[in-house]
Amino acid sequence: MITALSRHRRAAAALFHALVVAAALGAALLLRFEFTLDPRSVRMLALALPVTLAVKLAVFRGFALRDLPWRYIGLEGVTRMVAGNAAASLAMAPLLVWQVGSGFAWSIYPLDFLLCLALMAGTRLAVRIASEPGHRFEPGRRCEPGCRCEPGCRCEPSHRCEPGRGCEPRRGLETGRGAGAPGRRILIYGAGRAGITLLSEIREHPELEYQVVGFLDDNPQKRHLLLRGARVWGGRATLATIVQRERVDEVLLALPRAPGVEIEAILRRCRAARVAARRVPLLAEMIDDRTLMRQIREVRVEDLLGRPPVQLEESAIRAGLAGRVVLVTGAGGSIGGELCRQMARYQPAAIVGLDQSEAALYQIDREMRERFPRTVFRAELGSIQNRRRLDELFEAHRPHAVYHAAAYKHVPLMEAHLFEAIENNILGTHQVARAAAAGGAETVVLVSSDKAVRPVNIMGATKRMAELVCLAAGQAEPRMRFLAVRFGNVLGSSGSVIPLFRRQIAAGGPLTVTHPEMRRFLMTIAEAAQLVLQAAAMGAGGEVFALNMGEPVRILDLARRMIRLSGLEPDFDIRIEFSGIRPGEKLCEELSAYEENTVPTPHAQIRVFTGKGVAREALAHCLQDLRHAAETRDAAGAVLSLKELIPEYNPSAFVLERALGEPAQRALARAV
């Protein structure tokens, strides 16, 4: 099948070349005889055309011109066309003298050469221009090859655009030689835009001493193409053969949009061929102006989730962020830090990062200054529970929008620290909402959790209460937009299972999984932050958005994938043990409660829920009770207050037995 498709593509290219040769020769004769062909000239054309076709098509085949791509034609392809046409013209000249005679004017040869070359190259250039999507000038963002960001500005892959300055060369790569040993032979998997850009960047940096031996691509129509001088050898089935024949040292996966199941299948082929594999980052991770070569990284378990890439309506996001001051609470955390990084793409006037952890705040401050030097970042130390500190921040910076990511999120830990969860997740959110209203903010976005749905733990109940606090604040302040965004577990965050599994694999195992059927909705940090920004851009206020998390992933399968990514085999090299469900955990989380109605949004990956709200008076009374319970360490009163406002809350046995005691259990049973 692949061979047949490749043959048809080559036959189509040969037919195109035949038409170009015939058109060029006829046009050359017309130009030479001033657009007047007498019978003698027509006879010469009839005699010359078969010879010209035979010679040129043979030479073009020898120069592999029929294997040149249409959409990605570059300098190497044009050079090959010039050489092929020059060789063909030289080869056909003596044959035409023998066939036609001396009456065939010598001036026709250069005309035929120029016209044939112009038609061949011009047609491919037109196809490339027509097939490339429109490009917008976005300061600081990488430009695609051939785009024109500003009048007179021709951007190259190694350049970046700066506002008011056109293009300037990028800084040199900061890639060491560890992975790029002298003469390291590289096979690029993916012959699309990312793969060709990667090839160009490798050639621009000969100091890396990479040698690209060619491409692999699963699109059968690309087989045998020559892309910038590198051959597309075939698809996935040929990987082992090409690795052995070309002595490949490493496979670079240039597939930023590939689903996880495809990446996993390619990795299996690489393991079978005993060749290392790395990849270009996911689209969601490409947030700064570094070249692709500087972003090549190891394949992570996040790449195997099988989730579609995030599609953003960037104009709407930019309208809410560009030129505005944004406050991010919990900026030193996983989600808060990623929100800061993603926001930097949209040129905010300033990003104010608030966190109560000195070390975490220091790290994000340094990172933002190094990676985004043109973005003003203000690191502010403080707690969301301190109203005076919040008022100081709003007075000093006057933020237009608040992204509230500060929260305690560790489920078993919060089961044992009931009052701290209430003070931070509920009362802290209330302080943020009040300070934002008093400080003139326009938008408050709460980062919530799927554990707020029919909560069975303190963390989920306090996050549901935080949602209700924000919705009530929106009713009290109609000029402002208050909204919440729910999503599931974030891979790679400080509290996720991924760092734990990595440490256990490094120690030789065993890996500990709580239950064979434990499942979780999983999302990468980058796509979670991007969808939070997208939901904030489309929200009118009063919504609780939920991100499309796809299908829940079995944690046992995740553990097995991580073991295989390390080059080991589960249950053979590393054992997996089951430790039992921890306090407050569900076997599978939910993203919507039974009482809530799902409403679609214009964005396919975001849905909105409109469930039962609460009266502001009831919420105010509950907040007062919770504050009193936290101050007096009244665990029973705290749980009863949560249960009163969140009837679907089902406290765990751990909370009932260890935190409340037998009398409180009986009181709670009567309340239920």
Residues 420 and 459: their CA atoms lie apart, in Å, by 10
Does residue 451 have an active-site annotation? yes
Residues 536 and 426: their CA atoms lie apart, in Å, by 21
Residues 556 and 561: their CA atoms lie apart, in Å, by 9
Q: What is the largest CA-CA distance in the chain?
A: 116
CB count, 10 Å around CB of 16? 17
Which pair of structure tokens corresponds to residue 636? Answer: 């029973």
HEC letters along 63-132: CCHHHCCCCCCCHHHHHHHHHHHHHHHHHHHHHHHHHHCCCCCCCHHHHHHHHHHHHHHHHHHHHHHHHC
Residues 524 and 541: their CA atoms lie apart, in Å, by 26
Residues 365 and 589: their CA atoms lie apart, in Å, by 34
For 352-370, give the DSSP string.
EEEES-HHHHHHHHHHHHH
Residues 190 and 74: their CA atoms lie apart, in Å, by 17
Residue holding tokens 């009837």? 647
Amino acid at 379: A
Q: Where are the alpha helices (DSSP H) in 173-332?
A: 193-204, 239-245, 260-273, 292-295, 314-321
Catalytic-role residue among 451, 586, 612, 643: 451
* CB 450 within 8 Å of CB 549: yes
* CB 419 within 8 Å of CB 464: no
Taking phi over 0 as left and psi of -120 to 50 as alpha, with beta for the rest, 58 belongs to alpha
Residues 584 and 456: their CA atoms lie apart, in Å, by 6
* CB 139 within 8 Å of CB 168: no
Query: In whole angstroms, how large is the CA radius of gyration of the chain?
Result: 32
- Count Cβ atoms within 10 A of the Cβ of residue 127 and give its class: 0-12 exposed, 13-18 middle, 19 or more buried: middle
Amino acid at 294: R
Catalytic positions:
451
